[in-house]
């Protein structure tokens, strides 16, 4: 099974090079065949150069340079449209995720699950330097999602998730332009009946660079996306009832 990693990047020159190199070293050690698709959104710093240099050393790296308008969701979607692997993982470019967790998620998919969700809030997880306000909003938002979708998955808003390639095809077309894509993909996969498991992961707050996620700007977009997929779920349930 080949692993395709999609990494969105916007002004990450200080961390992305080291992050990808550590990731690739771990994947090589585990003898996992891979491609790393970096989707760069018009970074004003040296992100592009850093990736271009690194891809000379590691041909498994593919760089996509997007044209404006920017957007986390737009970038992820473009990355997903270009994957060629059997398993797709979404990983951040700011060193927030651990290479070992990438391998663990990939192994879980190999066990047979359609989706593997990394959770920062389980026994065995470790979270470092998560801003307090974001943390509180995160827990409330995830509780809301858990109630709406009757699920034990308690970190749906976390982008760090892995899918069989067929799941990604089944959730298309995606609508989100921004960070709300982090809820759109897993919720749609759940509603469509794919199997999933969550495993504890470690997460580290960024040591350099600037956070691009503004909860104030994104809150409404997350809410609308959760409601949107919830309505899809209701429609599907209604259709199943009609056929009975
Ligand atoms: N391509 C692209 N990547 C983005 C955009 N916004 C954020 N990212 C990347 O998405 C990842 C997560 O963003 P980050 O700022 O760390 O969010 P936070 O951890 O929630 O504060 C990082 O790798 C960013 O470089 C964007 O508009 N386009
Ligand atoms: Mg981050």
pLDDT-flagged residues of the chain (< 70): none
Does the beta carbon of 51 lie inside 6 Å of ligand 1?
no
Residue 132 tokens, joined: 């307090």
In this structure, which residue's CA is closest to atom 12 in ligand 1? 92
Give the ligand 1 atom nearest the CA of 75: 1
Q: List residues bridging with 89 in a β-sheet.
A: 5, 162
Distance CA 156, CA 159 (A): 8
Residue 64 tokens, joined: 């996509």
For ligand 1, mutation pick of 5, 6, 7, 10 (most atoms within 8 Å of CB): 10
Does the beta carbon of 75 lie inside 6 Å of ligand 1?
yes
3 state SS of 65: strand
Give the ligand 1 atom nearest the CA of 76: 1
By the 10 Å C-beta count (0-12 exposed, 13-18 middle, 19+ buried), 216 is classed as exposed
Kindly list the domain boundaries of the chain, sorted by start residue: 3-243
pLDDT of 169 reads 98
Does the beta carbon of 9 lie inside 6 Å of ligand 1?
yes
pLDDT of 95 reads 87
In this structure, which residue's CA is closest to atom 10 in ligand 1? 8
Q: Which ligand is nearest to the CA of 12?
A: 1
pLDDT of 170 reads 98
Residue 158's alpha-carbon distances to 26, 49, 155, 180, 187, in angstroms, are 22, 28, 6, 10, 12
Residues 83, 189: contact at Cβ < 8 Å? Answer: no
Q: What would the pLDDT profile of 138-193 be if each residue is shown by its tens digit? A: 999 999 999 999 999 999 999 999 999 999 999 999 999 999 999 999 999 999 99
Three-state secondary structure of 103-130: HHHHHHHHHCCCEEEEECCCCCCEEECC
For ligand 1, mutation pick of 6, 8, 127, 178 (most atoms within 8 Å of CB): 8
Q: Which ligand is nearest to the CA of 157?
A: 1
In this structure, which residue's CA is closest to atom 13 in ligand 1? 212
Question: Percent of the chain at pLDDT above 90?
Answer: 95
**Exposure string for 97-112, b = 16+ CB within 10 A, e = fewer:** bbbebbbbbbebbeee
Its CATH class, for the domain covering 3-243, is: alpha beta
Q: Which ligand is nearest to the CA of 209?
A: 1
pLDDT of 213 reads 86
Measured torsion, CA atoms of residues 71, 74, 75, 76, in degrees rounded to the nearest 10: 120
Q: Which ligand is nearest to the CA of 218?
A: 1
Question: If you measure from the C-alpha of residue 163 to the centroid of ligand 1, how many angstroms do you get, rounded to a whole number?
Answer: 20
User: pTM to 2 decimals?
Assistant: 0.96
pLDDT of 79 reads 98
Q: DSSP letters along 172-187, please?
A: PSP--SSTTHHHHHHH
Does the beta carbon of 134 lie inside 6 Å of ligand 1?
no
């Amino acid at each position: 099974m080949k692993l395709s990693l999609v990494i969105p990047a916007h002004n990450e020159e200080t961390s992305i090079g080291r992050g990808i190199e550590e990731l690739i070293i771990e994947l090589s050690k585990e003898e996992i065949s891979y491609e790393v698709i970096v989707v760069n959104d018009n970074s004003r710093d040296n992100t592009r150069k850093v990736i271009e240099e690194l891809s000379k050393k590691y041909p498994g790296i593919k760089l996509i340079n997007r044209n404006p308008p920017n957007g986390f969701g737009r970038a992820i979607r473009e990355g997903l449209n270009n994957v060629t692997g059997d398993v797709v993982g979404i990983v951040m470019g700011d060193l927030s995720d651990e290479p070992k967790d990438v391998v663990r998620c990939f192994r879980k998919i190999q066990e047979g699950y359609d989706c593997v969700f990394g959770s920062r809030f389980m026994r065995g997880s470790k979270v470092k330097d998560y801003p307090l306000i974001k943390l509180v909003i995160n827990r409330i938002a995830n509780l809301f999602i858990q109630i709406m979708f009757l699920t034990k998955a308690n970190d749906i808003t976390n982008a760090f998730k892995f899918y069989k390639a067929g799941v990604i095809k089944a959730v298309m077309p995606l609508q989100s332009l921004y960070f709300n894509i982090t809820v759109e993909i897993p919720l749609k996969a759940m509603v469509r009946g794919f199997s999933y498991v969550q495993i504890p992961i470690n997460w580290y707050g960024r040591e350099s660079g600037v956070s691009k996620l503004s909860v104030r700007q994104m809150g409404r977009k997350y809410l609308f996306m959760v409601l949107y997929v919830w309505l899809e779920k209701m429609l599907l349930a209604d259709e199943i009832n009609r056929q009975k």
